[in-house]
Amino acid sequence: MQLFDSHCHLDRVELEAFDNDFDRFMQVAHEEAVRQMLCVAISPSFWGSMTDLVAPYLAGNSDRKAGRPVVYLSYGLHPTDEVGEVIPADDLVSAIREDRHADSIVAVGETGLDYFHCERGERWQHDRFVAHIEAAKVVGKPVIIHTRGAPGDTMDVLEREHAEECGGVMHCFAEDWDTARRALDLGFYISFSGIVTFKSAAELREVATKVPADRLLVETDSPYLSPVPYRGKPNNPIRVRHVAEMLADVRGMTLDEMADLTRRNAERWLGIDRGV
């Protein structure tokens, strides 16, 4: 069995349980069958420290540590980060193409709309969102979508900007079937996090039964949204197993089958070769 955590923030994972040793954490993750991870950017301000941390595990690193998960990167600016700043699409493209870890950057984002932290839906969020979609088209990489309190507007932007041209994923999906259907119609993938394990998430689990098998992904969004039985505690990629177990249960599959399915989906979505 090989699990692929399709969305995590490795520079924010709590390491106390691993003797404050990141390599020890990665070793345990590998032992627990988590063999690939997508480490997602949320701010250029933290890009350098994040990539320095994960560099020994990057897919594009010829000196990558063996016996540890393979790490891939996204590049982008979270919709709530550095409020009011819009990075032009051309600047995003240049940052991706010229980065020293360009070979490991496989996606753009996370980006999108978040009205929970921006109640009026200021224009800058929309402009930033559009810039990421434009950049994703130019560099030929899928876009990672964050939406909170704005499912309708998020989908309207994706449709209006023809996001099917770059493809992408609805990360940490917690919306209704109509939103999922609109995303699927654009060729997007649907990624489920620990939220799907919550007792209150019966409707979301129903949505998870309707998503086509070849569009399913699993993630942790570490260090956030720990699945049951760890809800309320800091999350880490090892717990992606619990998300996969829940999806397997509601879809009548084994954990091994779900792990294999979502790994293959993630590799296809990101256009990468199988990791080890």
48-95: pLDDT as tens digits: 999 999 999 999 998 999 999 999 999 999 998 876 778 899 999 999
What confidence score (pLDDT) does residue 83 get?
67
What confidence score (pLDDT) does residue 84 get?
72
Instruction: Using the Cα atoms of residue 68, residue 103, residue 236 and residue 195 in order, give the sign of their dihedral.
Output: negative
Is residue 102 included in any domain, yes or no? yes
Is the CB of residue 264 less than 8 Å from the CB of residue 54?
Answer: no
What confidence score (pLDDT) does residue 258 get?
98
Is residue 92 included in any domain, yes or no? yes
Give the CATH number, domain containing residue 118. Answer: 3.20.20.140
- Number of structural domains in the chain: 1
* Distance from C-alpha of 93 to C-alpha of 105, rounded to nearest angstrom: 12
Q: What is the pTM of this model?
A: 0.96
Is residue 140 included in any domain, yes or no? yes
The rounded mean pLDDT for the chain is 95
Q: Which amino acid is at 125?
A: Q
Tell me the C-alpha to C-alpha distance, in Å, between residue 275 and each of 58, 71, 198, 267. Answer: 11, 9, 30, 9
- Look up the domain containing 62 and give its range: 3-270
Is residue 275 included in any domain, yes or no? no
What confidence score (pLDDT) does residue 119 get?
61
Provide φ and ψ at 144, rounded to 5°. -100, 120
Going across the sheet that includes 3-8, the strands are 3-8, 34-39, 70-75, 105-114, 143-148, 168-170, 189-192, 216-218
Is residue 178 included in any domain, yes or no? yes
- Region of 7 (left: φ > 0; alpha: ψ -120 to 50; beta: rest) is beta
Q: Which residues of the chain have pLDDT under 50?
A: 275-276
| pLDDT tens, residue by residue, 180-189 | 999 999 999 9
Q: What does the angle CA 56 – CA 57 – CA 63 come to, to the nearest 5 degrees? A: 55
What confidence score (pLDDT) does residue 86 get?
83
Is residue 276 included in any domain, yes or no? no
